[in-house]
């Protein structure tokens, strides 16, 4: 199951390479064994993936957004 999520507390910054808006794709939910958050730029294909087993999907999405926004 893939869903797009807009992270309210931490909106995603634009792609550091091409400047386009990225997309956040969620795989799984709080009741599945594995959860994955993927942030991808559809123009230049830059991708960041985070997975979790015990954390909630909301927490994983927030952490992923923070990591995307704080990149070097």
What's the chain's average pLDDT? Answer: 86
Per residue, the 3-state secondary structure of 7-67, as one string, reads CCCCCCCCCCCCCCCCEEEEECCCCCCCEEEEEECCCCCCEEEEEECCCCHHHHHHHHHHH
Express as a percent the part of the chain with pLDDT over 70: 86
Confidence class for position 7, pLDDT limits 50, 70, 90: low
How many domains does one find in the chain? Answer: 1
If one compares 31 and 1, the residue with the highest pLDDT of the two is: 31
Domain residues for 12?
2-69
From the list 67, 47, 65, 46, the residue with the least C-alpha distance to 6 is: 65
Confidence class for position 8, pLDDT limits 50, 70, 90: low
pTM of the complete model:
0.80
What tokens appear for 52 in the block?
A: 């979790």
Mean pLDDT of 42-70: 92
């Amino acid at each position: 199951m893939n869903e797009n999520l807009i992270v309210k507390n931490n909106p995603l910054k634009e792609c550091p390479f091409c400047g386009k808006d990225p997309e956040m794709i969620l795989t799984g939910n709080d009741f599945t064994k594995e959860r994955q958050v993927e942030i991808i730029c559809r123009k230049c294909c830059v991708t960041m993936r985070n997975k979790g087993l015990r954390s909630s999907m909301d927490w994983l999405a927030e952490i992923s957004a923070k990591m995307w926004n704080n990149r070097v």
